[in-house]
């Protein structure tokens, strides 16, 4: 569906903006070839995104062909628009298309959702000084990317021995939806000091710790864990595995970790892996987002104890915000 001009939005004679449909899927996939180091989530999410409540997936077209995509998702009880999935066709990069599309989408969101006050986005690349001046930094996490072969790891799982600490933490607790609401999403909840700026960042998507986000987080089939129900020091959430373009039968697992208790993090990582690895056919790329100080000890654990391959050195994920 062609989007009509939106008051205040930029006009570009050559470009038209449309809402994405199933029809453009192949074009979007082929323009996305090779991005995000083979971990592009969009091919797995495109069809659900285009029908998701409070989400708009906008395409820029030139001469009838797709040249860029951006999704805006309204969360936090209508206060925040998340900017996601941005990509520009390789032959159109470096000409400001991303900026024009973002300004169009921000005006569209303001027009359709007048309650939205801010937009948020996560990035792992280096921003220019000009870009940095546009945003407030809300949170920062370290990114640890490892690869392992799932059948091989599953066969070794029962014989793995964890390094012994002075005191062994209690076994991690898997949360049910009511626990998630009480522990993660209610202001003043027990996790308030653990979450960076009261924000749950789930596989690049930031959500404020508000109960208004409960239903949409529930739809995601995540595994939520804490080390202790009443006074958690470590918490984590893990996506259900999904295929990525990195290789044939390659699956991706994303695990977000809060807290700095090393043994607790190790136990929760093992629990998530034990739940998912046995059902996976081949290589898995597993990305852990964690407090920066935990990157080195967890990289050592993953390589020396679990025998995983470290895919890249320390990188960071930033969560930015600007008024809309
Ligand atoms: C990153 C990418 C979208 C930039 O598109 P582009 O049209 O070539 O970007 P340009 O440098 O011409 O445009 C610059 C504008 O885009 C914005 N921009 C560039 N990269 C951005 C990013 N990763 N996230 C948000 N905005 C970005 C700049 O802030 C600038 O905005 P301004 O016009 O308001 O100053 C494009 O190179 C691409 O598709 N890369 C592969 C996918 C990818 O890495 N996506 C980023 C996801 S975070």
Residue 237 contacts residue 109 (beta carbons within 8 Å): no
- Residue whose CA is at the smallest distance from ligand 1 atom 5: 98
Contact 143, 310 (CB under 8 A): no
**Mean pLDDT score of the chain, rounded to an integer?**
92
Of the candidate CATH numbers 3.40.630, 1.25.10, 1.10.3470, 1.25.40, the domain formed by 139-323 belongs to 3.40.630
What is the dihedral angle through the alpha carbons of 266, 271, 272, 276, rounded to the nearest 10 degrees? 140
The greatest distance separating any two alpha carbons of the chain, rounded to the nearest whole angstrom, comes to 67
Rounded Cα distance, 148 and 112, in Å = 44
Q: What is the mean pLDDT of residues 297-320?
A: 96
CA 105 to chain centre: 20
Per-residue pLDDT tens digits for 117-130: 999 999 998 888 99
Cβ < 6 A, ligand 1 pocket: 35, 86-88, 93-99, 123, 125, 131
Best residue for ligand 1 mutational test, from 98, 124, 316 (most atoms within 8 Å of Cβ): 98
The span from the CA of 251 to the CA of 284, in Å, is 5
Q: What is the pLDDT of residue 193?
A: 80
What does the pLDDT average to over 199-214?
92
Buried b vs exposed e over 136-147: b needs ≥16 C-beta within 10 Å?
eebbebbbbbbb
Question: What is the model's pLDDT at position 127?
Answer: 87
Q: The dihedral of CA 45, 46, 52, 56: what is its sign?
A: positive
- Domain definitions of the chain by residue range: 15-116, 139-323
Ligand 1, closest atom to CA 122? 48
More confident residue, 132 or 163: 132
Give the residue whose CA is nearest to atom 31 of ligand 1: 99
Q: How far apart are CA 82 and CA 68, in angstroms?
A: 17
Structure tokens at 141: 């996490």
**Res. 184: pLDDT tops 70:** yes
Ligand 1 pocket: which of 62, 86, 135, 316 to mutate (most atoms within 8 A of CB): 86
Atom 14 in ligand 1: residue holding the nearest Cα: 96
pLDDT (0 to 100) of residue 185: 86
pLDDT confidence band for 74 (50 / 70 / 90): very high
Atom 3 in ligand 1: residue holding the nearest Cα:
87
Please tell me the predicted confidence (pLDDT) of residue 191: 81
What is the rounded distance in angstroms from the CA atom of residue 240 to the CA atom of residue 201? 15
- pLDDT class of 40 with cuts at 50, 70, 90: very high
- Residue 71, token pair as written in the block: 């999704």
Both tokens of 76, joined, read 């936090």
pLDDT at 299 exceeding the cut of 60: yes
| pLDDT bracket for residue 294 (50, 70, 90) | very high
pLDDT (tens digit, 9 = 90+) per residue, 209-236?
A: 998 899 999 999 899 999 998 889 999 9
Which two tokens mark 228? 């202790």
Of the candidates 73, 37, 92, which has an alpha carbon nearest to the alpha carbon of residue 244?
37
**pLDDT of 170 over the 90 cut:** no
Cα–Cα–Cα angle for 280, 284, 285, rounded to 5 degrees: 150
Give the model's pLDDT for residue 12. 62
Q: From atom 18 of ligand 1, which residue's Cα is the shortest distance away?
A: 98
Ligand 1 atom closest to residue 36's alpha carbon, by position in its atom list: 44
- The rounded distance, in Å, linking the Cα atoms of 216 and 241 is 18
Nearest CA to ligand 1 atom 40: 87
- E-strand ranges in 150-266 read 173-174, 199-202, 205-208, 223-226, 235-238, 242-243, 251-258
Which superfamily does 15-116 belong to? Gcn5-related N-acetyltransferase (GNAT) (3.40.630.30)
Q: Tell me whether domains 15-116 and 139-323 share a fold.
A: yes
> Looking at residue 8, what is its pLDDT?
56
Residue 85 CA: which ligand 1 atom is closest?
47
Strand 251-258, strand 283-290: pairing? parallel
Q: How far is the CA of 99 from the centre of ligand 1 (A)?
A: 7
């Amino acid at each position: 569906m062609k989007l009509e001009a939106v008051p205040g939005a930029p006009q570009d004679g050559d470009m038209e903006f449309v809402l994405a449909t199933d029809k453009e899927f192949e074009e979007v996939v082929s323009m996305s070839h090779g991005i995000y180091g083979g971990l592009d989530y969009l091919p797995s999410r495109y069809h659900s995104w285009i029908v998701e409540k409070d989400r708009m997936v906008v395409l820029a077209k030139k001469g009838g062909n797709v040249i860029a995509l951006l999704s805006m998702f309204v969360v936090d009880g209508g206060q925040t628009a998340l900017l996601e999935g941005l990509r520009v066709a390789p032959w159109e990069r470096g000409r400001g298309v991303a900026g024009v599309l973002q300004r169009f989408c921000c005006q569209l969101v303001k027009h359709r959702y007048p309650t939205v006050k801010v937009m948020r986005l996560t990035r792992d690349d280096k921003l220019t000084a000009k870009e940095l001046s546009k945003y407030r930094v809300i949170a920062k996490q370290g990114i640890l990317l490892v690869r392992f072969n799932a059948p091989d790891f599953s066969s070794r799982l029962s014989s793995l021995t964890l390094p012994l600490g002075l005191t062994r933490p209690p076994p991690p607790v898997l949360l049910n939806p009511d626990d998630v609401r009480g522990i993660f999403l209610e202001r003043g909840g027990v996790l308030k000091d653990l979450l960076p700026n009261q924000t749950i960042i789930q596989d690049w998507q930031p959500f404020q710790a508000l109960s208004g986000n409960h239903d949409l987080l529930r739809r995601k089939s995540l595994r939520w864990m804490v080390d202790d129900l009443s006074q958690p020091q470590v918490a984590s959430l893990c996506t259900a595995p999904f295929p990525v373009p990195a290789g044939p039968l390659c699956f991706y697992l994303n695990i977000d970790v809060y807290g700095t208790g090393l043994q607790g993090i190790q136990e929760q990582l093992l629990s998530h892996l034990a739940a998912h690895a046995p059902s996976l056919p081949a290589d898995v790329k597993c990305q852990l987002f964690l407090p920066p100080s935990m990157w080195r000890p967890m990289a050592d654990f993953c390589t020396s104890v679990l025998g995983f391959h470290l895919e890249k050195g320390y990188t960071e994920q930033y969560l930015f915000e600007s008024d809309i």
